Every structure is written in structure tokens, then in C-alpha cells.
Structure 1
């Protein structure tokens, strides 16, 4: 697998599938994918209004750098890392960056490099 071309396609496909599923049960919430492919940033974002207050939130934020997926934010039930592994990405190419660096050694995934 050519990581430089395949990894961006893969994360876009996975996040797009999630977006399609999430729009059905809550059609009033604006859910969208923000991509900065040149710099390797992929963000699943939600917007809404509730009782006059603006509601915003990042559900998933993944960066691709150093030929790895850096999962910065992940509020999915099973985790984006699980989807990446199921798609054939080796665990050593996934960094759970939402964990502080000293704690990453206790996961099954990459510590960093």
C-alpha cells in the first residue's frame, strides 16, 4: 500500500461513511467533513443551535504525518483506529495522539516517531 496516496483516500472514505450515518438520526445538526489534504488534516465537525446557544464540536480530528495516522480527537463509539486496522492499516502506523506521549506505550498502537 502506498501510504502517501492511499492513507488520505482511506480516512476520507471512513469519515464520509460516518457522516452519512450521522445525518439520518439528527437531520437538524449540520455535520460536515473539513479536509486540508495538502497538510494532512481531516476533521469531522458538527454545528447546531440549542435554546439560543451555538453548539459546535469536533467529533474526529485525524492528521496524516510521518507516514502515520495521528488521531488527535475521537468521539466515535469503537474508535477510528479500529476502522483503520480493519481496513488493513498496521497498528504501528496509528498514533493515539489524544493520549499524552508517556501513556502511548500502554496502547497497542504506535508511540510516535
Structure 2
């Protein structure tokens, strides 16, 4: 299995587990949804619905594959998706914390681009 296929599987497994855990106590008004697009290498975990009269729509996690690396565009999880990726064997040099400005990425332990 090539590197990108391996990364796709890791990302999907992590997001499927997050979604499964979220749905163990489902909210009738707010749905937890996944969008897993292998063709465009875009992976989203998001919530959609209503709480009273307020619309809920938000991306909890957005990951994409770009230039042979995993780009974390959005991450509102408690532990951090990067932690999960590291635990799954992805090297720090293949993870970009894209939610940080490019000028700040060299200050992290991860890839800059």
C-alpha cells in the first residue's frame, strides 16, 4: 500500500471513531456528519442542526492530503488529531498544522508545508 492510501485509511479510521463516539449519545437536534472524499483527499467531521432557534453548523475537523503530507486545516478536538496521527505511526515531518499561519509553523514540531 502506498503512503497516501495508508494515510487515507488512517484518517478515515480516526474520523469514523470520533463520529462513532459522538453518536453513542446522539442529539436529536444536532447531527454529527462525516464527508470522506478520497478523490479530492478532503476529510471533514462536522455538526449540523438546531439548538432551540439557533442554527448549528460547524466543522470540528478538516484534514486534507496535499503534497504527500497530511494538512490539518481545522481541529477542535480535545486531544488533537495530530496526536492521533502520531499514535497511528505518521511521522511529524508528514503532518502540517495548517491552522497556524505559515510564519508560525516553524515554531511547531511538525512540517511547515
Please tell me the TM-score bracket, short chain as reference.
over 0.9
**TM-score normalised per structure 1:** 0.94
Segments of 4+ moved more than 3 angstroms: none
RMSD: 1.1
Q: Tell me how many residue pairs correspond in the alignment.
A: 112
Deviation at 1:37, TM superposition (A): 1.1
Partner of 1:69: 70
Deviation at 1:24, TM superposition (A): 1.9
Partner of 1:3: 3
CA distance in 2, matches of 1:27, 1:61: 22
Aligned to 1:54, the other structure's residue is in SS state strand
Match runs of 1:1-113 below 5 Å: 2-28=2-28, 29-112=30-113
CA distance in 2, matches of 1:4, 1:78: 24
CA distance in 2, matches of 1:43, 1:49: 19
**TM-score normalised per structure 2:** 0.94
Q: Which runs of 5+ in 2 are unaligned?
A: none
Aligned to 1:19, the other structure's residue is in SS state helix
Deviation at 1:51, TM superposition (A): 1.8
Deviation at 1:75, TM superposition (A): 0.3
Deviates more, 1:64-73 or 1:45-54: 45-54
